[in-house]
Structure 1
Amino acid sequence: MSTPQKSGRTVFGRLSLSERTFVADALRTETVGGMLLLVAAVAAVVWANVPALHHGYETFRDVHLGPGVLGLNLSLEHWAADGLLAVFFFVAGIELKRELVAGDLRDPRAAALPVAAAVCGMAAPALVYTVVNVVGGGSLGGWAVPTATDIAFALAVLAVLGTSLPNALRAFLLTLAVVDDLLAILIIAVFFTDQLNFAALGGAFAGLVLFWLLLRKNVRGWYVYVPLALVIWGLMYNSGVHATIAGVAMGLMLRCTRRDGEEHSPGEHIEHLVRPLSAGLAVPLFALFSAGVLVSGKALGDVFTAPETLGVVLGLVVGKALGIFGGTWLTARFTSASLSSELAWPDVFAVASLAGIGFTVSLLIGELAFADDALLTDEVKAAVLIGSVIAALFSAVLLKIRNAKYRALWEAEERDEDQDGVPDIYQEGRPEYHLRMAALYEEKAAEHRRLAEVAAGEGAGGERPA
């Protein structure tokens, strides 16, 4: 009698063809943006630490622009954190909406894994930070700093390493980051909102309602939505709620399902247009203005001795890895989900370690958490940079150990012998695929026979066949 097999969903199994195409397009843009992010971060650190240039860096990012009468006379550093990152969170809102209505998160059973992993991946770093600071007598205000994952930075690390991760693991990392961004947005909105200006908040809410009504009426034209979005952003900034919340709110309002005759939904179309602006300009410029911290032997030593900075480093390196891996394992252990036979749990732990790269949002939360202490803010930024580098190096070692296995899986996923643009793995059960492959193999066999006849004719000194 055969042993009954466990029924249920396969964790990190093969993606659908449409989901695979979306993930490939999204990751391609994020990877390029991640490269620019790395360049901007390195440039900021060099700019801030070269003695002849340090003063110029401080002066440049403190330049103020904008209409003071509207409460928007901000420094370039604040324009980057409050303005440009609103574009980043706008794209995050569209990604989240798409995942909820057309991606993995639309199915509660499929959503359980990335949601559980993301929640545990944010709770564990916060717990690690809290424990370190309770024991060390530090400030608990930075508990949220190590909770975020920077997907662009993580994918840039993958691109630099040249690691051929299977598409399912890449999709998990992307979906995890989407949920992570949502939770980070909620943390910013709930815990880092000071005094509220209810008039401005009411105006921002009215603007969002108008934005939604225009979308419902299918009103088109960037000249309608861009000015309205700027007004909503300005009102949200003056309300006391962090201005990036306006970006994610507008992103969530876009329709991400296709109607009859549509090649792309409005959300997909706008995301395709705005994502390069977010990944290629907004986030790198934010890094340029925020990552410029002084790095010295004493500063590096302080990172590993002060409880606030040590809590950030351990939260990113230890808390993220254990939280995401633990959430994934518990979900698979106590539900009907099972790990793909092609992967092993160390693979999941390697990706979980990669999620410890918490750059963009961690820097933003660090600025908000210690806004009244400029010295501690810079020290926490340095801790974010160091923790992200350690997490990147640690995950690189883990991924390289299994790189040969990953490459074999990736090549199997990408194989397209009939060259029809669709990987063979998605067609192997279809009769027409087998007919095409039989014709292809017969063509190759005929070519081999012809070459054999040529070789035989030349070897016998006879006349070469035509």
Structure 2
Amino acid sequence: MDQPSLLTVAVRPFKALFKADAFEGILLIAVAIIAMIVANSGVYHAYHELFEGSLFGEDFWRGIPGNFEKLMVLDNLHGWINDGLMVIFFFVVGLEVKRELISGNLSDPQQRNLPVIAAIAGMAMPILVFLGVTGGDPEYRAGMAIPAATDIAFAMGVIGLLGSRVPKALRLFLLTVAIVDDIGAVAIIAIFYSDPKMMWLIFSLIVLVGMFAMNRYGVARMWPFVICTVILWYCVLNSGVHATIAGVLAAFTIPMRTKDGNSMVEDAEHALVPWSAYLVVPIFGFANAGVSLEGIGLNNLLDPLPLAVAAGLIIGKQMGIFAAVWGAVKLGVVKKPEGCSWPEVWGVAVLCGIGFTMSLFIGELAFPGSALLRDEAKIGILLGSLISAILGYAILRMTTTHPDALVDDPNDPIV
């Protein structure tokens, strides 16, 4: 076999950056870096005012008849992003989960058991590590779920950089673990970061039942579901349950198959995934990842909260997932992913410590009354995610036994 040319070897890393499954992760890294630079530059006050400055003012809300206090969360751009725009992200998550449960990896018990076991352990262990580092201090307890979730785009982006070095079975394992993580994170948000109001919950339930009825009776157009989703979001926003949960619930009502044989779930997912990946999540990341380091020194980095979040992501995630997989395989409950070595499984377990999007989101909900704690949580998230990404990439790069990654596609015009 001919050896690849020097030019081919030189451009290969740059080609990897623009593969579809890598670019999302690279984009998130770039957005986080830009947000940190802006937040620690001379334009910080403009950055802060852009997202936190009042859009309408309290007098505007007082002039609206009825109890609309909850809507004041939408009085700044940060609120519209976290409680409004992110509904699209959660809607896409819901569509993906529904498709996986009905016709994907989560529909087959044989394929589902291993990643489900790994995901559950991978959410529990970071929480235990967090509580251990903070000593169970009540001041920090609300943040214990911050390191529990995996960022799908970020983790798959790192996998994309490795090309075909990572076997397909391991990619599938990582993707399914991240999806189950998302289900768990949504449940955590709904249960632990909500203050429900019964009247609005009843309204939300009525709208949701109506959407399931539309599914049941064969409504084959998307626009009625879109209108009802907006109404559902409005009701959930006022219900005390976090508004983004409306996105997941609405996604579950979308028909998997319409009477004409089309998959509305897949059509909606294909239409929205690029908007979510390349617009919604980067905007969210830019609005939430910017932390001013003014007045924050090494002592702050070693404070219990950032240390607990970073340790939960770096140590808790890999310990929980790898131990669960190893134990389940040794007990004969499941089989190890086909064609994968234990070091490769370990590398993927480390990559699951990339929290970013969902961790930032939970961090915002955990400490609504303390900007310092929110910033410390963000520092822990960024450090933990970055270290997990670098360490996971290095482990997989050094332990891989799949040399087919070194063979370039002859049809690739860059080769």
Q: Which runs of 5+ in 2 are unaligned?
A: 1-17
**Of 331, 336, 359, which residue of structure 1 is paired with 2:328?**
331
Whether contact under 8 Å (2:84, 2:243) holds in the other structure is yes
1:279-329 CA-to-partner distances (Å, cap 9, x unmatched) read: 1111111101000002368445412x2112211110000000111111111
Provide the rounded CA distance (Å) in 1 between the counterparts of 2:212 and 2:19. 30
Q: CA deviation at 1:340?
A: 5.0
Matched, 1:287 2:285: yes
1:201 maps to 2:191: no
Equivalent residue letter for 1:269: D
Matching of residue 345 in structure 1 with residue 342 in structure 2: yes
Q: Is the 8 A contact 2:92 2:273 kept in 1?
A: yes
**Do residues 229 (structure 1) and 226 (structure 2) align?**
no
Residue deviations 1:99-119 (CA, integer Å, cap 9, x gap):
111112222232111110000
* Separation in 1, partners of 2:150, 2:314: 11
Instruction: State the match for 1:447 in structure 2.
Output: none
Q: How well do the aligned residues superpose, as a CA RMSD in angstroms?
A: 2.6
Aligned length: 383
The TM-score, its normalising length taken from structure 1, stands at: 0.76
2:3 paired residue number = none
The answer to whether the Cα contact below 8 Å between 1:295 and 1:382 also exists between their aligned partners in 2 is no
Report what 1:461 is aligned to: none
Indicate yes or no: 2:63 matched with 1:72. no
- Alignment pair present for 1:45 and 2:36: yes
Show the 5 A alignment for 1:21-36: 31-36=22-27
SS at match of 1:72: helix
2:11 aligned partner: none
Alignment check: 8 A CA contact 1:33 1:276 kept: no
Task: Give the counterpart of 1:306 among 298, 303, 306.
Answer: 303
- Output one character per residue of 1:387-441: Cα deviation in whole Å (capped at 9) or x when no partner: 11111111121011034x2342796xx9999xxxxxxxxxxxxxxxxxxxxxxxx
- Alignment match of 1:317 (pick from 290, 314, 317): 314
> CA 1:64/1:214 → structure 2, altered by over 3 Å: closer, same or farther?
farther
Contact kept? 2:52, 2:78, Cα under 8 Å = yes
In the other structure, the counterpart of 1:274 is: 272
Q: Is the 8 Å Cα contact of residues 32 and 280 (structure 1) preserved in structure 2?
A: no
The answer to whether the Cα contact below 8 Å between 1:211 and 1:228 also exists between their aligned partners in 2 is yes
| 1:77 Cα deviation from its structure 2 partner | 1.1
Structure-2 separation of matches of 1:407 and 1:228: 51
Aligned pair in 2 of structure 1 residues 369, 341: CA closer, same or farther (>3 Å)?
closer
- Quote the Cα distance in structure 2 between the aligned partners of 1:340 and 1:357: 21
> Please, which of 55, 74, 96 is the counterpart of residue 45 of structure 2?
55
| Residue pair 1:91, 1:251 contacting (<8 A) in 2 also | yes
Q: Per the alignment, in what secondary structure is the counterpart of residue 371 of structure 1? A: coil
| 1:39-438 mapped onto 2 (5 Å cutoff) | 39-50=30-41, 52-65=42-55, 68=61, 69=64, 71-73=70-72, 74=74, 75-134=76-135, 139-160=140-161, 164-194=165-195, 196-256=196-256, 258=257, 262=261, 264-295=262-293, 298-303=296-301, 305-339=302-336, 342-403=339-400, 405-408=401-404
Structure label with greater radius of gyration = 1
Between the aligned residues of both structures, percent identity stands at 39
Shift of 1:153: 1.3
Tell me if the contact between 1:233 and 1:247 (Cα under 8 Å) persists in the aligned partners: yes
Of 64-73 and 275-284, more deviation after overlay is shown by 64-73
Residue 452 of structure 1: aligned partner: none
Deviation sequence 1:203-247 (CA, Å, 0-9, x none): 111111111112222224343222221111011011000111111
Amino acid at match of 1:283: V
| Structure 2 residue identity aligned to 1:33 | E
After TM superposition, the structure 1 stretch with the greater mean CA deviation from structure 2, 37-46 or 331-340, is 331-340
Whether the aligned pair in 1 keeps the contact of 2:155 and 2:351 (CA below 8 Å) is yes
Contact preservation (8 Å) 2:21, 2:160 = no
Compared with structure 1, are the counterparts of its residues 122 and 219 closer, same or farther at alpha carbon in structure 2 (3 Å cutoff)?
Answer: same
- With over 3 angstroms needed to count, the CA separation of the structure-2 counterparts of 1:33 and 1:218, relative to structure 1, is farther
Deviation at 1:41, TM superposition (A): 1.4
Deviates more, 1:226-235 or 1:237-246: 226-235
Deviation at 1:341, TM superposition (A): 6.1
Aligned CA distance change for structure 1 residues 178 and 410 (closer, same or farther; 3 Å): farther
In the alignment, is the contact (CA less than 8 A) between 1:40 and 1:284 conserved in 2?
A: yes
Residue 165 of structure 2 aligns to a residue whose secondary structure is coil
One-letter identity of the residue aligned with 2:243: A
Matched residue of 1:339: which SS? coil
The Cα of 1:374 is off from its aligned counterpart by: 1.1
**What letter corresponds to residue 354 of structure 1 in structure 2?**
L
Unaligned 5+ residue runs, structure 1?
1-26, 418-466
Counterparts in 2 of 1:349 and 1:81: CA distance versus 1, 3 Å: same
Q: Which amino acid aligns with 1:293?
A: V
TM-score by length of 2: 0.85
